[in-house]
């Protein structure tokens, strides 16, 4: 603990700072730690719940695997007509994919394959 206090003192000499205690949350992630067991967990549960609400999929069914093997995404599923392109340009698909990428990078590496598959359609999304 003396080393931490020394570091804090050195930092405060060069930067304006305030010690607010142990971190409980950072970048939409909750921090849980148990020093005795040597465990550090990060959770984005609140972030995921906000995403579900924001994109109106709060009633979506949960699955053990993020992308079912029965789902096939093909090039022909891209927009085929101008009407389809116009309709899909109003869908916030890129925001959904970007939000999922954020979760994937920090705490949900298990969705990497699914995010990769759906991101292939960012430039030409079909209904």
> Would you list the domain boundaries of the chain?
2-119
Chain segment 57-92, per-residue pLDDT in tens: 878 777 777 776 677 666 555 556 677 667 666 668
How far apart are alpha carbons 109 and 92 in whole angstroms? 23
How confident is residue 118, by pLDDT bands cut at 50, 70 and 90? confident
Q: How far is CA 107 from CA 9, 22, 54, 104, 112, in A?
A: 32, 20, 20, 6, 11
H/E element, 34: strand 29-34
Mean pLDDT of the chain: 82
Contact between 107 and 66 (Cβ < 8 Å) = no
Q: Please say if the pLDDT value at position 35 is more than 70.
A: yes
Over residues 15-19, mean pLDDT? 89
Phi, psi of 42 (to 5 degrees): -115, 140
Could you tell me which of 103, 97, 126 has the C-alpha nearest to residue 29? 103
Task: Quote the CA–CA distance of 94 and 120 in Å, as a whole number.
Answer: 11
Of 55-59, 72-76, 100-104, 118-122, the one with minimum mean pLDDT is 72-76
């Amino acid at each position: 603990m003396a080393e931490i206090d020394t570091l804090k003192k050195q930092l405060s000499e060069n930067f304006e700072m305030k010690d607010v205690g142990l971190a409980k949350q950072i970048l939409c992630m909750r921090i849980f730690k148990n020093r005795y067991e040597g465990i550090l967990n990060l959770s984005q549960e609140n972030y995921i719940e906000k995403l579900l609400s924001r994109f109106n999929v709060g009633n979506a069914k949960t699955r053990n695997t993020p992308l079912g093997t029965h789902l096939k995404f093909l090039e022909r599923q891209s927009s085929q007509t101008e009407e389809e392109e116009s309709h899909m340009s109003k869908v916030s698909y890129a925001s959904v994919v970007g939000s999922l990428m954020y979760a994937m990078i920090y705490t949900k590496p298990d969705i990497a394959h699914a995010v990769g598959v759906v991101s292939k359609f960012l430039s030409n999304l079909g209904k």
